Chain A
Amino acid sequence: MIEAPEIDLAYPLTDGDIAVNNLESARRNSWNRFWRDPLRPGIAESIVEQEQLTAPFVGDMGALDRLDSLVRCLDRVEAESPRTTLIRAQIASMGHRFAEAKRYLDEIGDWGELSEDANRLSLSIDQACGIDLEAALEARRWMAAKSRRLEDLVPLAALHADLREFDEADRIYQCALREYQGTSPFAVAWVCFQLGVLWGELIPEVQSSRAEYWYQKAIEYLPCYVKVRVHLAEVYLRHGRGKEAEALLLTAIPSGDPEVHWRLADVLAQMGRFADAKAQMQTARSGFEALLEKHLLAFADHGAEFYAGSGNDPRRAFELASINLANRPTLRAFEQAYEAAVDAGESERAAKFVAAAEHRWGATNAFRFSQLARTYGDKPASERSTA
């Protein structure tokens, strides 16, 4: 049974096919204008915005590479400016190079007061790294109350989800849908995806039907949304609906996203098509390694998840999860690193992760809901202070 209220937006959204066509068209055009005149007002910012849409919604793994070339060019023509430095910070953050992004923001601060965009980015980085979440929550609440706009409500909801306040997260995500008055399917599909992840992955007792509902809505609005296809395929896979999962993933193959190949391999294996599954798994492995070679921090957590799962390399999973944890010590990163350490037989490191997580997160409600809290609580008192 679907427990979620039916979503039926009162106004139509631009068809996903048209929206993606126009995004691609505008993105290519922006690059063209940029190469003609890299200092044209607003052009570099447009490219960052368009590539930030292209990467998650179209599953275009080349976006980060292209943005690196943008920075490279700006370094040539306008290296010493707050504008270039903010763009560097945005791109570093997109690649999960959070410490580097923070350094750039500090540099901007040396020039004067941070702009609204820079402040928003700083807040996003803190949130992504699990730093001072109470202050981030206060700031997010203030921004969302002031604007009531979807782009402020969604990060607030995501922060509540990070704090394991799932009902509040759900309420705010749905509020974001109600408040939205635009025609872009990207925005609405994004919220639907977040709701799918909330009910399908984040809550302790997963509600698959609810997750499926939201994932399907996201695909309805934006058929090319690769990440959603992968997540929905996982739901189907868990319930033995291999054919449906395969159909979902086959259309996403041209994106080049290795997660598509990984999940397809799982689906094919479940269907007993082991040779095909093996080929897909190899493609997934080489795809992940290629991404990790270029953008290690951006894909460390995904890589760890892959190798901890059917990628079947616990040591690599442990290595990547440790890198991700060092980069962004969120509670989720601690949980992933702990599990990877246990699977890799690194019990001493696992214990240290638990202790460090308790040290950093123990005072929060979120930690009480975590598996790590139970693990920590099970330990003798003498072993609880090894952080």
Chain B
Amino acid sequence: MSDHVDGPRQIGEPATDLTDLFAFTSPENPAHTVLAANVFPSAGVTAMFSNAVNHSIVVRRMTVAGTGEDAKFKPSDKEYRFSFRFDVLEHANGDSKPVQRGTCTCPDGQMLPFVVNDEKGVSTADGVFRVFAGLRSDPFNLAWAPAVLKKLPNLLQHDNVLAIVVEFDTRRVLSPSEGSLFGVIAEITPLPGRASPIGVNPPRYDWVGRPEQTNMRLNNPGIQGTDDLRDLWNQQTPFAIAEELKPVFHQKLVESLSNWDLRDGKADWSSGALHAAANVYLDDFLLFDVSKPTSDTSFFEIEKSTLRGKPYATGGGRTVDANVVDIMITWMVNDDKEFMQGGATGATKPGLKVFPYEASPNTELQTVADNVDLAASPDQVWALIGQFGGMWHPLIASVRLTGNGVGQLRTIETIDGKQIIERLEAEDNSQRLYRYTNVSGLGVVDYTGTFDLKPKGSGSSVEWRVQFLADNQATLVVRTIVATLMKTGFEALTKRFGALK
């Protein structure tokens, strides 16, 4: 995935794992530039930022120092650094939901305090800078099995990430009259430490320039049995890869690009072109030109045009909705001869046209599950509960079936007069399992229930699992209703069949 979980070091601490970096012209104001970096792959809905690190987005002005097979982008020394730090959690009185605050230090030294997950963000008094930090829907779309190049649904569907977003007045911050081409990276670095005999301060935990430098190029999943260089790469200094290691990384990139080229069984790249592309990738920063437009398809156009010996035509960069994996795979596999569309055309949600541009987080389905062990054979128990229209639950007064097989509806009248309609979605009597959804009557959406019966010892074990999103009522209320349904049902089954000893 883009830069998701890109090294053994990241696995123990996902909050310091950078996933993606974006640079684009503000959809709200063309005179503004937006930079965004995401951390924490598959973050849960209560995820918070680590207070132990600096999260930085760093921009340097670039010049085109060579074209064609000599393509090269040279960074200037001056950097524009946006640095985000986060505090420990605050637990407000009586509120179980903790609050986290943070501060962004802007390139001009202004410090912007903010509250995590405040969608409006916060701006400097002069209106030059605006920042946001918080949970968002993951804008990344990976719809391939990269090792075998097989199309899949988006592997990050429904996922969230923690995003930091900064929008600023392009002219006042970057002075594009001095040069409009820029490179940007994001990095996670340790906070300044204290002297100690124990512990080693690593230079950085993770950094990212272009997407998929680590997981698809340096650690090409189509090549087995080679050394994993990702942790070594992550500790390099952005804009200044160690000279002594450049040959190692370059060789790895050439091997990787060569492998990608042959994935369709055809060699579209000359040796010289592969080495030139590897050189460009070795300088790993996301290029954007603030004097030209960025779009969902302009990603990597600056590099590609320069490698082809032509002037670039777009602002490059990377928008939230850019389908970067398909763009990169197409280029690496067939040199843009035929677009390679993965198994999904976009991320879970499209980006927003307004600040903070990354889409609102995906809601987490609620799960309620319970099980009971019964002193009766699986066949005996399934004969009772395996019927979609079965009348065994003490809270049910009547069940009426409409239709047959998968797709049939059951209309349940409860003993207190409520009506619930459910639809059979799947059944497998040989596996003693059926799945149903709720159509109406429970105040929920996306409700799926599953009955699953397995032999256990001399008896059987029943699992009843329900997932849902509450609709116009408190989640706790629905959870209580569902849990009560399960408890009462299982008590009735235990009374009927006896508990398994």
Query: Are A and B part of the same complex?
Result: yes
Residues of A within 8 A of B (CB): 5, 7-15, 17-19, 21-22, 24-33, 35-36, 40-41, 46, 49, 69, 72-73, 75-76, 149, 174, 177-184, 186-187
Q: Is B344 an interface residue (CB 8 A)?
A: no
B interface, how many residues as a size bin? Answer: 35 or more
Give complex CA distance A99, B229 in Å.
37
Could you tell me the distance between the alpha carbons of A177 and B199 in the complex, rounded to whole angstroms? Answer: 6
Residue numbers in B under 8 Å from A76 (CB-CB)? 431, 433, 452
Q: Decide yes or no: A26 and B89 within 8 Å by CB, A76-B452, A149-B8, A181-B9 being known contacts.
A: no
Residues of A within 8 A of B202 (CB): 11, 181
Given contacts A184-B12, A184-B13, contact A11 B190 (CB under 8 A): yes
CB-based contact A26/B200 at 8 Å? no
Residue B40 at the chain A interface, CB threshold 8 Å: yes
User: Are the CB atoms of A178 and B198 closer together than 8 Å?
Assistant: yes
0/1 string, B184-219, CB within 8 A of A gives 1: 000000110111111111100100000000000000
A-B contact pairs, 12 of them (CB 8 A): A11-B193, A11-B202, A18-B50, A21-B89, A21-B98, A22-B44, A26-B42, A28-B364, A36-B158, A40-B155, A49-B11, A72-B454
Q: Which residue of B98, B195, B200, B463 has the most chain A CB atoms within 10 A of its CB atom?
A: B200
Q: How far is the CA of A277 from the CA of B45 in the complex (A)?
A: 40
Tell me the smallest distance from the CB of B445 to a CB of chain A, in Å: 15
Determine the residue in chain B with the shortest Cβ distance to A7.
B198
Listed from nearest, the 4 A-B pairs whose CB atoms lie closest are A25-B44, A29-B44, A9-B199, A10-B199
> Judging by beta carbons under 8 Å apart, are A69 and B155 in contact?
no
On whether the beta carbons of A26 and B47 are closer than 8 Å, the reply is: yes
Q: Which residues of A contact B197 (CB under 8 A)?
A: 5, 8
Structural contact, B15 and A14, CB atoms closer than 8 A:
yes
**Chain B interface residues toward A at CB < 8 A:** 8-9, 11-16, 40, 42-53, 88-89, 98, 100, 145, 155, 158-160, 190-191, 193-202, 205, 364-365, 367, 369, 371, 431, 433, 452, 454, 463, 465, 467
Taking a contact as CB atoms under 8 Å apart, the answer to whether A18 and B48 are in contact is: yes
Distance in angstroms from A73 CB to nearest chain B CB is 8
Contact B198 A8 (CB under 8 A): yes
Nearest-neighbor residue (CB-CB) of B86 within chain A: A18
Cβ contact within 8 Å between B47 and A17: no
Whether A30 pairs with B13 at a CB distance below 8 angstroms is no
In the bound complex, residues from chain B placing their C-beta under 8 Å from that of A5 are: 197-198
Knowing that A32-B364, A32-B365, A149-B8 touch, tell me 16 more A-B residue pairs with CB under 8 angstroms: A7-B196, A10-B193, A10-B200, A11-B200, A12-B193, A18-B88, A25-B46, A25-B47, A26-B47, A29-B43, A32-B158, A35-B467, A40-B155, A46-B42, A181-B9, A182-B13
| Contact for B201 among A10, A13, A21, CB less than 8 A | A10
The answer for the CA separation of A24 and B44 in the assembled complex, in Å, is 8
Are A41 and B155 closer than 8 Å at their CB atoms?
A: yes
Query: What's the Cα separation between A41 and B190 when bound, in Å?
Result: 31
Contact of B199 among A18, A26, A178 (CB under 8 A): A178
- Contact status A187-B12, CB under 8 Å: yes
Residues A181 and B47 in contact in the complex (CB < 8 Å), given A15-B88, A35-B365, A35-B465:
no
Known A11-B202, A24-B46: A29·B364 in contact at CB below 8 Å: yes
Closest to B90 in A: A17
CB distance from B16 to the nearest CB of A (A): 5
Which residue of chain B has the shortest Cβ distance to A16 in the bound complex? B88
- Within 8 Å CB of B201, what residues of A? 10-11, 181
Distance in Å from the Cβ of B222 to the closest Cβ of chain A? 15
CB distance from A62 to the nearest CB of B (A): 11
A15 and chain B: residue at smallest CB distance: B88
- Check B198–A13 contact: CB distance below 8 A: no
Using CB atoms, name the residue of chain A closest to B89.
A17
Candidates B12, B49, B159, B191; contact of A182 at CB < 8 Å: B12
Query: What's the Cα separation between A167 and B471 when bound, in Å?
Result: 60
Determine the residue in chain A with the shortest Cβ distance to B189: A11
Q: Is the CB of B45 within 8 A of A25?
A: yes
**A49 to B, closest residue via Cβ:** B11
Closest CB in chain B relative to A217 CB, distance in Å: 11
Is B194 touching A8 in the complex (CB atoms < 8 A)? yes
| Chain B neighbourhood of A24, CB < 8 A | 44, 46
Task: Determine whether the beta carbon of B158 is less than 8 Å from that of A18.
Answer: no
Please give, as numbers and ranges, the residues of chain B lying within 8 Å of A183 by CB-CB distance. Answer: 13, 15-16, 50, 52-53, 190, 205
Q: Is the CB of A10 within 8 A of B194?
A: yes
Residues of B within 8 A of A40 (CB): 155
Interfacial chain A residues near B433, Cβ < 8 Å: 76
A11 surroundings in chain B (CB, below 8 A)? 52, 190-191, 193, 199-202
Q: If A18-B88, A32-B367 touch, does A9 touch B198 (CB 8 Å cutoff)? A: yes
CB nearest to A36 among chain B residues: B158
- Give the CA-CA distance A41 to B221 in the complex, in Å: 14
Given contacts A21-B89, A33-B158, A180 and B42 within 8 Å (CB-CB): no
Residues on A with beta carbons closer than 8 Å to the beta carbon of B371: 69
CB <8 Å contact, A17 and B88: yes
A14 B369 Cβ-Cβ under 8 A: no
Return B223 CB to nearest CB of chain A, in Å: 17
A25 to B159: give the CA distance in the assembly, Å: 12
A28 and B475 CA atoms in complex are apart in Å by 16
A177 to B200 Cα, complex, angstroms: 9
Partner of B43, one of A9, A25, A35, A49: A25
Find the A residue at minimum CB distance from B465.
A35
> Are A177 and B12 also in contact (CB < 8 A) when A12-B193, A33-B42, A72-B454 are?
no
CB pair A14 B42 closer than 8 Å: no
